[in-house]
Structure 1
């Protein structure tokens, strides 16, 4: 390609020349200059001329930055922050942190060190207003920078705690929710989990239960089962207990109590595991009847430590046997001493009574196809109207505890067998025919066997006579 003679002797100002200039600047070393400037500026600041010292240090920082000396830039920036902090010039501190982090072409390493230095010194500030201003400054300069995401998250946590200490729970929760720490790679596992649990706790304190559940689902249940995270696991399930207590979900409460009970650290001391085990049993007893509840009850009955609590084992046994339990239960006196059941005005004890009555109705439905309403009420130890109410609730239920029954009020008769459809009749007929054919085949086999035996005996007699 021919060279344009007009371009000869002109300075190249394209992007390639910028890269070349930057490479050349990286070769400059300002360490000797910094060894002279930094001590002199420090002495000047301590003698009362902080503005003059900062001017000299900022000029050195600029020359080193343009020259590509990252080490000198970092050292100078840290000295500026330390001097402002040491002399308690808070406005200068905030202004220079912002200036150092937002200067054109500033190195990431320098920004990280400045923000880390400021974050470390936040806890040493006693004045609340000054501390709050410094946190806001550091959060502003670190916003959107992935390389200081961990420092920003810790500052946000500190700011949230300050708001909570002031009694502003709503602001504390909103501030902490800004950080999506589950995506941060700079934070270790424990710190992430602790952060998420604080977010859940503040949401519960704020009574924002929907958001609390959303954040709780970010916690990996397999991760908190690791041995060094037992305290995190217990805290997590304690928060879930708060949430599901509000939602009145006894099955999830039973799972949460069971998870705490099975924690190795809890298993070591009876005073720790006994309240968790008894609470899990109570929650299972008042859980709605379904496959999950039955499975958990059978698993809980296999727990060895439950042998030491015979009243609670007996309570669960009522729900897996086809016998009428009848309210009040035989162990009523002992189980009502449990904190969850001590207050009859709370929802736990009335729900336990409902579960016992529903269990008894299912037992009756298993052994009776037709029964009078008076006899059913007698078995349940209820009035006719109350027993009919429970029966209707089970018939109209949309869950797996739904019962098939019909009430003939004029006759006072309850039928527990539902009307069969055409498919049911056909299936029953097919089953009967299959059973009949099986009996015919078995009979034929027996007849052939008798013929064979008779022939064998006859042949044996002929052989003996001859």
Structure 2
């Protein structure tokens, strides 16, 4: 239908309308990608390269590339696509969508083709701390950056920036794990667990708080501690205290009942 439009202006208006209608609808994501490619080609012909690149980056096509026959029948290209999928998913900021995609990628049977990348993926899925120096740098840096069969994602100046972004993602993952088990932690201990210098740790934590990644954290600089739980309102604290007292009395009553029964049986 698009190709049958009488002129270029009408054609592009139809394309823009269809792209607007199909936005966010996963069952037509491939068709929307084709429409976007038409817009990108037009922008490239007009010399608007940056605008075209931004438009491509907005696409959220998850399976179209890997499922194409050209990729599926070529083992080397399949490996490259899988590696790139893993790395770019890890580099993405942590959201519900990113976490969902991360878990779906981990279920792909084809990940057996890239066991090292699957291992890196599992580090982020496991609810455990990841050591940047002892695990990522010592074990996986040579695999991710310095091999002939690498992806090239971490090469050059842009690659160095992505490597720093990966460090940030590891730190964010570790911060989520720490906030699960700590209510309060000192600056020194937090820097040790995050594998950050003390000065970098504070700026990193401030950035997480500002962006909303860790919403309840509060920094107390005079005491050099970080509170990782939101302060409860007085009424909420009172309700919690009342519930705890009720549970305590119920437990005591059960103990007394057992004691009476035991005494009755003995005597």
Given the superposition, is the C-alpha separation of residues 408 and 266 from structure 1 closer, same or farther in structure 2, using an over 3 Å criterion?
same
Give 1:265-304 correspondences, 5 Å limit: 266-304=71-109
Given the superposition, is the C-alpha separation of residues 355 and 258 from structure 1 closer, same or farther in structure 2, using an over 3 Å criterion?
farther
Contact 1:285 1:352 in 2 (8 A): yes
Given the superposition, is the C-alpha separation of residues 438 and 262 from structure 1 closer, same or farther in structure 2, using an over 3 Å criterion?
farther
Moved more, 419-428 or 379-388: 419-428
Partner of 2:25: none
Contact 1:266 1:273 in 2 (8 A): yes
Aligned equivalents of 1:259 and 1:306: distance in 2? 17
In structure 2, stretches of 5+ residues that fail to align are 19-30
Partner of 1:429: 241
Partner of 2:219: 407
Match among 40, 56, 66 for residue 201 of structure 1: 40
Contact 1:258 1:280 in 2 (8 A): no
**What whole-Å deviation, never above 9, does each CA across 1:403-439 have from its counterpart, x for those lacking one?**
4222222232222222111343144235424533653
**Root-mean-square deviation over aligned CA pairs:** 3.8
Match among 151, 154, 170 for residue 341 of structure 1: 154
Larger radius of gyration: 1
Contact 1:371 1:415 in 2 (8 A): yes
Aligned equivalents of 2:156 and 2:253: distance in 1? 65
Structure of greater relative contact order (alpha carbons < 8 Å, 6+ residues apart)? 2
**What whole-Å deviation, never above 9, does each CA across 1:184-221 have from its counterpart, x for those lacking one?**
xxxxxxxx9898355322355254988x8xxxxxxxxx
SS of 1:419 mapped into structure 2: coil
Aligned equivalents of 2:41 and 2:219: distance in 1? 50
TM-score by length of 1: 0.44
Aligned equivalents of 1:417 and 1:281: distance in 2? 32
In structure 1, stretches of 5+ residues that fail to align are 1-148, 161-173, 184-191, 213-240, 459-466
Aligned length in residues: 244
TM-score by length of 2: 0.72
TM-superposed deviation, 1:366: 2.5
